[in-house]
């Protein structure tokens, strides 16, 4: 596989990884904007705008957009996070020109008032649907509690009030400020010719506007600390949901690999300390831990749900487990097992063009560089007892913020 890089005159960055043996190709526009870049007046606009991108352009209405993706057998979608919005598709290699035509076109949407009003109802319904899902509601409360006034605590969906008040002109202003060529990079991975691809993109995207785009408050977060109870009637929420968030390494930190190994050893879905302490004996129905790497900040997320009668025992087990790991670290056997799991998942994922496209896009967004599979495997393999101790000392697990969501009024 070979890596290619080109930048158009307007600042749009084009990244490519060619793999002549691949039977497909994946392409995506990575926009460096999300809920952390919003003000309270337009909370939820990034996610709303993601929906509107598919509603049509000067050349296509929503029906035609859908039809043109379907005609080439595209597996297309998009997502919005606190930091990024990503529009992507996978096709057979012969359909790359047609994919460029439709995917690049929808990145310049009409944002018609009629479509805006129709989709607003869809977004408001989505907010209600998520609010009644206790797992998501617990996560949303926990993030807001941990991050406080930091923009990483902003809700991706926004609120019923913010979406109701949002106008089409506010969305257009946000789009014009954030969807500039200099704030977007385009990634393609699979079986294709890069020079021909650049010509296609120059024709389709070379006239996109450019300019300076800033992101504020790229700072680490210490967290609110303490225990925060969100009590819900048992007839509404039958289980107790618990989240513990503690500061961790940012996406560009050299400690991020040690953090990933640590989180996997503690809270992987199988064979981890939490699995044997909570899931296997049946104290918790689900339990897991992961490392979330963001721009300028990071965090560990531990989540579990259980019968309300078990929550005090579960919380005691987790806090004691955290203390033991913080004091004594991990064993070499645990580290090796976690590294093997992570490496295996990386290798398997690398065989899919969509996964390679996503990884290249993420690395460029957070590191400003290309990393191949060998780079990742070497960094994972380099994690050892010393680096685990370094990440534990720099980001103590004991610095957690606990949020409990459910029928219980206390967890200790």
CATH number at residue 130: 3.30.830.10
Q: Does residue 390 form part of some domain? A: yes
- What pLDDT shows up at residue 326? 98
Per the CB < 8 A criterion, the answer to whether 405 and 134 are in contact is yes
In a domain, 163, yes or no: yes
What is the rounded (10 degree) CA torsion for 382, 386, 389, 391? -40
Among 174, 205, 236, where does a domain finish?
205
Same domain, residue pair 194 and 238: no
Q: Which pLDDT score is estimated for 116?
A: 97
58 labelled catalytic:
no
- 177 and 253 in a single domain? The answer is no
Considering the domain architecture, whether residues 151 and 295 belong to the same structural domain is answered as no
Say how many Å lie between the first and final Cα of the chain, rounded: 54
Q: Judging by beta carbons within 10 Å of its beta carbon (0-12, 13-18, 19+), is residue 216 exposed, middle or buried? A: exposed
Judgement on whether residues 192 and 262 belong to the same structural domain of the protein? no
Show the domain range for 175. 2-205
**Does one domain contain both 77 and 126?**
yes
The domain total for the chain is: 2
Question: Edge to edge, what strands does the sheet with 25-31 contain?
Answer: 2-7, 13-18, 184-190, 25-31, 85-91, 75-80
- Structural contact between residues 45 and 159, judged by C-beta atoms closer than 8 angstroms: no
Q: Is 328 exposed, middle or buried (0-12, 13-18, 19+ CB in 10 A)?
A: exposed
Please give the pLDDT value at position 98. 98
| 197: Cβ contacts below 8 Å, ≥ 6 apart | 14, 16, 96, 100, 188
Residue 319 maps to a domain: yes
In a shared domain, residues 332 and 275: yes
Regions in the chain scoring below 50 on pLDDT: none
- Considering the domain architecture, whether residues 197 and 240 belong to the same structural domain is answered as no
Rounded Cα–Cα distance for residues 363 and 366 (Å)? 5
pTM attached to this predicted model: 0.95
Q: Are residues 366 and 326 in the same domain?
A: yes
Residue 290 lies in a domain: yes
325 Cβ partners below 8 Å, 6+ apart? 262, 266, 273, 392, 397
- Indicate whether 218 belongs to any domain: no
Q: Which of 154, 174, 205 is the last residue before a domain boundary?
A: 205
- The first and second tokens of residue 183, run together, are 């704030």
Name the active-site residue from 17, 38, 50, 82: 50
Residue 372 lies in a domain: yes
**Cα–Cα distances in angstroms (integers) from residue 70 to residues 243, 352, 355, in the given order:** 40, 21, 21
Q: Is 95 in contact with 73 (CB distance < 8 Å)? A: yes
* Paired sense of beta strands 298-306 and 2-7, if any: unpaired
Verify that 25 and 158 share a domain, yes or no: yes
> Does 201 share its domain with 231?
no
286 is catalytic: no
Query: Quick one: DSSP state of residue 371?
Result: -
Please indicate, yes or no, whether residues 154 and 284 belong to a single structural domain of this protein: no
Helical packing angle, 332-350 and 385-394, nearest 10°: 90
Q: How many CB atoms lie within 10 A of CB 112?
A: 16
Residue 193 falls within a domain, yes or no?
A: yes
Cα distance between residue 46 and residue 79, in whole Å: 10
Catalytic residue among 119, 126, 220, 346: 119
User: What pLDDT sits at residue 1?
Assistant: 86
Of 160, 175, 205, at which residue does a domain stop?
205
Do 61 and 147 reside in the same domain of the chain?
yes
In a domain, 214, yes or no: no
DSSP state string for 285-305: SEEEEEEEE-SS-EEEEEEEE
């Amino acid at each position: 596989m070979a890596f290619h890089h080109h930048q158009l005159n307007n600042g749009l960055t084009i990244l490519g990884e060619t793999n002549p043996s691949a039977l497909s190709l994946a392409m995506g526009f990575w926009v460096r904007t999300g809920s952390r870049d919003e003000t309270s007046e337009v909370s939820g606009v990034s996610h709303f705008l993601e929906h509107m991108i598919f509603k049509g352009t000067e050349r296509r209405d929503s029906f035609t957009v859908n039809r043109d993706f379907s005609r080439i057998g595209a597996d297309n979608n998009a997502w919005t996070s606190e930091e990024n919005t990503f529009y992507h598709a996978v096709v057979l290699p012969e359909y790359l020109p047609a994919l460029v035509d439709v995917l690049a076109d929808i990145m310049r949407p009409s944002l018609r008032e009629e479509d805006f009003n129709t989709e607003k109802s869809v977004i408001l319904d989505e907010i209600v649907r998520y609010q009644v899902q206790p797992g998501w509601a617990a996560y949303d409360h926990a993030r807001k509690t941990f991050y406080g006034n930091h923009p990483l605590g902003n809700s991706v969906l926004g609120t019923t009030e913010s979406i109701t008040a949002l106008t089409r002109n506010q969305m257009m202003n946000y789009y014009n400020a954030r969807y500039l060529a200099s704030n977007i990079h385009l990634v393609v991975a699979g079986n294709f010719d890069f020079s021909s691809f650049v010509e296609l993109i120059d024709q389709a995207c070379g006239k996109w506007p450019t300019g300076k785009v800033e992101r504020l408050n790229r700072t680490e977060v210490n967290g609110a600390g303490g225990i925060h109870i969100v009590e819900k009637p048992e007839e509404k929420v039958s289980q107790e949901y618990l989240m513990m968030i503690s500061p961790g390494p940012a996406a560009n930190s050299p400690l991020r690999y040690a953090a990933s190994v640590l989180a996997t050893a503690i809270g992987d879905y199988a064979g981890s300390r939490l699995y044997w302490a909570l899931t296997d004996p049946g104290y918790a129905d689900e339990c897991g831990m992961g490392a979330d790497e963001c721009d300028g900040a990071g965090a560990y997320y531990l989540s579990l749900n259980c019968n309300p009668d078990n929550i005090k025992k579960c919380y005691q087990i987790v806090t004691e487990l955290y203390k033991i790991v913080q004091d004594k670290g991990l064993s070499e056997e645990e580290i090796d097992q976690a590294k093997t799991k992570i490496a295996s998942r990386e290798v398997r994922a690398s065989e899919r063009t969509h996964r390679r496209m996503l990884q290249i896009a993420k690395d460029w967004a957070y590191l400003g560089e290309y990393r191949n599979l060998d780079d990742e495997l070497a960094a994972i393999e380099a994690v050892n007892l010393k680096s685990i101790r370094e990440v534990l000392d720099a980001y103590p697990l004991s610095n957690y913020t606990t949020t409990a969501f459910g029928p219980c009024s206390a967890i200790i």
